[in-house]
Amino acid sequence: MPAVLVDVRGPPTPTPVGGEFQRRPRPAPGRTTLRPAAASAGPHDTPAGGDQRRAGRSRYDAAMRLTPLEEERLLIFSAAELARRHRAAGLRLNQPEAVALICDAMLEAARAGATYEQCVAAGRAAVGPDEVLEGVRELVSEVRLEVLLDDGNRLIVLVDPLGPGPDPVTGR
């Protein structure tokens, strides 16, 4: 999968044209463009250590390159942040929000150096059955997540991560 380019330049900067400043047009939303390197690089454009591959590039034209794993982690984090905001507002969580919170808790525990059992406990403690919409507990019967622990990549499988539901006979 090719690397994703994220435009981190910010607002367009004024550039002198004919003695006057004009604004450089921004790329269309959702499109990232990289300008070609300058034809002649000055001494200030060469980074320390003499790396000529970067010579001529402005530091403001840099793009962020993410691996597929990093893209997934950012997606999970973004969904978990939205879920946290909804939960703080008193809203009950839907299925994607509950799964995102569970996965985010396990990934954060693994990053902090937790063991396999501690990651499982963090995932189970992330969301309770009373914090989700009706029917979500039945939808989320299993969560599988690969995390990087101290002893390598491990697959964590949480069966019934939102806890047991109410007893069909008694309703509790």
pTM of the model: 0.62
Burial grade of 107 (CB within 10 A; 0-12, 13-18, 19 or more): buried
Q: Give the C-alpha separation, 125 to 127, whole Å.
A: 6
Nearest Cα to Cα of residue 110 among 141, 69, 82, 78? 69
Do 72 and 18 fall into the same domain? no
Do 81 and 153 fall into the same domain? yes
The tens digit of pLDDT for each residue in 73-110 reads 999 999 999 999 999 999 999 999 999 999 999 999 99
Q: Which amino acid is at 120?
A: V
Look at residue 54 and tell me if it is in a domain.
yes
Domain span holding position 13: 4-66
Q: Which of 48, 66, 84 is the last residue of a domain?
A: 66
Q: Which segments of the chain have a pLDDT < 70?
A: 1-62, 165-168, 171-172
